[in-house]
Amino acid sequence: MAKVVYKVGDDVSTDIIYPGRFMATVLPSETPQYAFADSPEFNARIKSGEFPPQSIIVAGKNFGCGSSREQAASCLKGPDFVVVARNFSRIFMQNAINLGLKMVICPTIETNEGDELEITADQVVNKNSGKIFPVIPMPKARQAIIDAGGLIPFARQLVVEAQGKG
């Protein structure tokens, strides 16, 4: 079970998640310091390391719309956030899968900051309200990449498996 630490609405662009003025910083180890930089209180909490791994950001529809900047996913992967959204923009979703960011598509999610959520493969349970919300599962191939920690670790895993069989 994890806590919702931040809630945003619909159409949150990559520029809100990772402002364009920080695009010169591309290292995944450095991008988290600029996550939601224009929300100073939340950004300061991220930088202080306040949130435990698997803390949850909840969003509405079209999370990650806008540009194709990979940093918008890497800045959330660094602190090991889980993003639960009604849906994700296509490019953000693919970048996030490639980086191994944990995402949950939950079209009817209702929650508030501070709520505790239990996430399973097929539902999200809001422990505060007692409500249960169905999840749209990721296709198995995409979920395997996320579970491996991203595309590069997934490819390494496949190489190791292939060497063991050869």
pLDDT < 70 positions in the chain = 166
Overall fold of domain 2-165: Aconitase; domain 4 (3.20.19)
Measured between alpha carbons, how far is 73 from 18 in angstroms, rounded to an integer? Answer: 9
Model pLDDT, residue 155: 96
| Mean pLDDT score across all residues of the chain | 96
Angstrom distance (rounded) from CA 162 to CA 54: 31
Q: What are the CA-CA distances from residue 86 to residues 8, 62, 78, 118 (Å)?
A: 11, 8, 22, 16
What are the pLDDT digits (tens) for 26-44?
888 899 999 999 999 999 9
Name the one residue in this structure whose structure tokens are 């949130």. Answer: 51
The domain spans of the chain are 2-165
